[in-house]
Structure 1
Amino acid sequence: MSRICLYYKREAEGDRWLVGDRYIRHLARRLVRGKSRLSGIEKVFANLCLGLDKLGIKYYINLPFNQLHESDFVGVLGAGKGCLNGYRKSNSIVAGIGLMTHPSEWSTLCKDYPIVKYLQHSEWANNIYKPYFGDRCQIWAVGIDTETWQNQQTIMKTTDFLIYDKIMWNYDIKSKQILRPIRELLNDKGLTFKELRYGSYNPQDYKNILSSCRSMIFLCEHESQGLAYQECLSSDVPILAWDQGEYLDPNRFKWGDPYIRATSVPYWSNRCGIKFQNINEFPNKLEEFLDNLSSQYFAPRDYILNNLTLEKCAKNYLDILLNI
């Protein structure tokens, strides 16, 4: 009988200074930071499993490769080449999200293993992989937990905006060019705001702050999917999003891709909010946003419920897996 066999393996951490110090460093991080947060790719895997659970689909996680049957379906997420070490089966594999940052880092993947599909979350990211993996490339978005992320109607909205700061590159410069003028304009208009910096909070902090904010300003250069902003939409909080339009990872020059079109909000409709390309556009877009907000035009949760629930996205993954 065929089984659904899913794999998620993180890149093994190596010793840095002394033999075995990777274990000491891991313990130290746990003591200082508390329980570690899920990384983006870990959350993708967790939400996929939650979706399959909701569909009542049985699956196996990280079954030893030598225990695979010929009829089993295999899906592999992870980070780095180590996630497929020891795989010597003929079973076709649906790979991705996240085995590499750029396909040039593992251009022989589909020769090394029987990969029949390589998944990326959105169109712009998928376009990066097509020159390397061709027709194997396919788009798949993971679902959002709409039960956890929903409108907290019993909590009063006391703050106009949450500024979600996920500026990734040239932070000192970009924060002066983008973040500082936004703060100043909001203050000038008497609009209240709170701020969160990506990587410095836990999910409950984010959920609590969102529940008290009427809207969010999302500052990130680009997202292949963008779970945090979609959790905001699921919470029925509309977004004013910086969408500057290019992939700005400095490694793009090393990869030979100096110009790549990209977006910070790959899953979006006009009912989710409004986008601005640069700080010069921001004042007018802010006024337009506030007008739409006061007229109750926005319906961001509806977009997530129609497109990105756990069940819908897990079903999409299952369709890809079972049709290979």
Structure 2
Amino acid sequence: MGPIEPYVALMQTLGLEVKVMKYGGFTHDQYLTNLNDSILMIGFVTDESQGLAWAEAWSSDVPTFIWRNNSNVYQNRKYSCSTAPYLSNETGLYFDTIIDFEIAMNDFLSGKYLFTPREWVLENMSDEVCAKQLFCHMTEIC
């Protein structure tokens, strides 16, 4: 049994249909189709540089629950990392263990969380917002 199977089993016991997508095993169109059919995306990665898959989920108004990992090892060197560098209260949450995940899932399904991922993307990641930030950094005219 791999690391995600207990999480899949838990979601299925909650009555949810689960689609597992492994990195490199799907096309962009398949990813978008699955996002369109989803109420939530769960992410398991050891680290993430930019979080583009998460951002694409948020732009589709799909919040994310991301497994938290704060360090990784590359070529025998330990380094600090993030599994979701742009995750916010509006876009989703982190979980550390299956117990945290179960609590978060029950809270999510009961309506406790009011995520607004698409709104957050439009306010923080749109081309216009990013261009204004770049202009500000380059010219110091904000």
The answer to whether TM tops 0.5 is: yes
Q: Which of 91, 96, 118 does residue 301 from structure 1 map onto?
A: 118
Deviations 1:110-140 (A, max 9, x none): xxxxxxxxxxxxxxxxxxxxxxxxxxxxxxx
Secondary structure of the residue aligned to 2:94 is: strand
Secondary structure of the residue aligned to 2:61 is: coil
For the pair 1:250 / 2:69, whether they are aligned, the reply is no
Q: TM-score, normalised by structure 1?
A: 0.40
Q: TM-score, normalised by structure 2?
A: 0.85
Letter matched to residue 311 of structure 1: E
Letter matched to residue 239 of structure 1: T
Secondary structure of the residue aligned to 2:54 is: helix
* Alignment match, 2:29: 204
Kept in 1: contact 2:107–2:113 (CA 8 A): no
The structure whose Rg is larger is 1
Secondary structure of the residue aligned to 2:40 is: strand
Deviation at 1:286, TM superposition (A): 1.9
Deviation at 1:280, TM superposition (A): 3.9
For the pair 1:313 / 2:138, whether they are aligned, the reply is no
Distance 2:115 2:101 in 1: 18
Unaligned runs of 5+ in 2: none
Letter matched to residue 278 of structure 1: T
Letter matched to residue 229 of structure 1: W
Deviation at 1:265, TM superposition (A): 1.3
* Alignment match, 2:92: 273
Kept in 1: contact 2:63–2:116 (CA 8 A): yes
Deviations 1:85-104 (A, max 9, x none): xxxxxxxxxxxxxxxxxxxx
Distance 1:278 1:250 in 2: 24
Kept in 2: contact 1:245–1:277 (CA 8 A): no
**CA RMSD, Structure 1 to Structure 2 (Å):** 2.1
Query: Structure 1 249/321 Cα, relative in aligned 2: closer, same or farther at 3 Å?
Result: farther
Deviation at 1:216, TM superposition (A): 0.8
Letter matched to residue 123 of structure 2: N
Query: Structure 1 322/271 Cα, relative in aligned 2: closer, same or farther at 3 Å?
Result: closer
Distance 2:137 2:38 in 1: 38
Deviation at 1:186, TM superposition (A): 1.5
Letter matched to residue 104 of structure 2: K
What pairs up with 1:117-266 in 2 under 5 angstroms? Answer: 176=2, 178-246=3-71, 248-251=72-75, 253=76, 257-258=77-78, 260-266=79-85
Distance 1:201 1:321 in 2: 38
Kept in 2: contact 1:239–1:274 (CA 8 A): yes
Letter matched to residue 299 of structure 1: T
Secondary structure of the residue aligned to 2:47 is: coil
Unaligned runs of 5+ in 1: 1-174
Secondary structure of the residue aligned to 1:195 is: coil
Distance 1:210 1:274 in 2: 17
Distance 2:113 2:74 in 1: 40
The runs of 4+ residues in structure 1 deviating greater than 6 Å are: none
Deviations 1:179-214 (A, max 9, x none): 111111112222111121112222221111110111
Distance 1:236 1:316 in 2: 23
Deviation at 1:274, TM superposition (A): 2.1
Distance 2:90 2:31 in 1: 22
Query: Structure 1 315/202 Cα, relative in aligned 2: closer, same or farther at 3 Å?
Result: farther
Deviation at 1:295, TM superposition (A): 5.1
Secondary structure of the residue aligned to 1:265 is: coil
Identity of aligned residues (%): 31
Kept in 2: contact 1:239–1:272 (CA 8 A): yes
